[in-house]
Chains A and B, each alone.
Chain A
Amino acid sequence: DGGITQSPKYLFRKEGQNVTLSCEQNLNHDAMYWYRQDPGQGLRLIYYSQIVNDFQKGDIAEGYSVSREKKESFPLTVTSAQKNPTAFYLCASSTWTEETQYFGPGTRLLVL
């Protein structure tokens, strides 16, 4: 089955710790995205990548980092510089940036 997988479903972060959220897709999509969702709010774009080894900052990139070494994978690292990381993180992919984005099941990050 084609789709987008995210792991883990829940992630706990301690103060000063970096954590990495996984996103994998087998849809052969070129573009991948990371969004953050806070309660009662819409989605905000963190980073996106249109092609392997290239990525751009979205609206709220501070405190986050990404890599795109393979077409299928777009991991997101929440660094210790992100002071308010508690949120629901959604990964998406599309054939190209103008096309429909399809979303993964999300990762909920909580701070201990």
Chain B
Amino acid sequence: AQKVTQAQTEISVVEKEDVTLDCVYETRDTTYYLFWYKQPPSGELVFLIRRNSFDEQNEISGRYSWNFQKSTSSFNFTITASQVVDSAVYFCALSAAEYGNKLVFGAGTILRVKS
């Protein structure tokens, strides 16, 4: 079974649309960490957010927001009013003792924002 599942392989939207990237994870641990990274065409992974399992508050940072729901093991990422510069591959990742506290990545979602 996939430890981190990003079911959307590729999403295309038109500029100014809102878009949500889904992430479902699997772990038996009660303490774990979830991450989102952005990989623009240049290739470098850019850290966006780290959330621990005890903090279920949704977080907003500018046009970005994250919805963490332990009941459904999901950590979804929404971009409001998307822009062309948001075009990138987005990775969700999990760190848990069950997996040696190493980052386990999903396969990524390619986001294309068209002008």
A interface with B by C-beta (< 8 Å)? 33, 40-45, 48, 58, 88, 90, 92, 97-98, 100-106, 108
Contacts and interface: CB of A to CB of B under 8 A. Distances in A.
10 contacts: A40-B9, A40-B108, A42-B105, A43-B45, A44-B105, A97-B101, A97-B102, A101-B103, A103-B37, A103-B46
A98 B47 contact: no
Contact of A45 (B47, B102, B107): B102
Nearest to A92: B45
B77 to A, nearest CB: 15
Given A43-B91, A48-B102, A106 B43 contact: yes
Contacts of A108: 43
Chain B CB within 10 Å — which of A88, A92, A97, A100 has the most? A100
A90 to B, nearest CB: 6
Given A97-B101, A98-B95, A98-B101, A42 B106 contact: yes
Given A42-B91, A43-B91, A58 B105 contact: no
B43 A105 contact: yes
A106 B2 CA distance: 26
B42 A100 contact: no
Given A97-B101, A98-B33, A100-B35, A41 B107 contact: yes
A41 B35 CA distance: 17
Contacts of B43: 88, 90, 105-106, 108
Chain A CB within 10 Å — which of B45, B95, B107, B108 has the most? B45
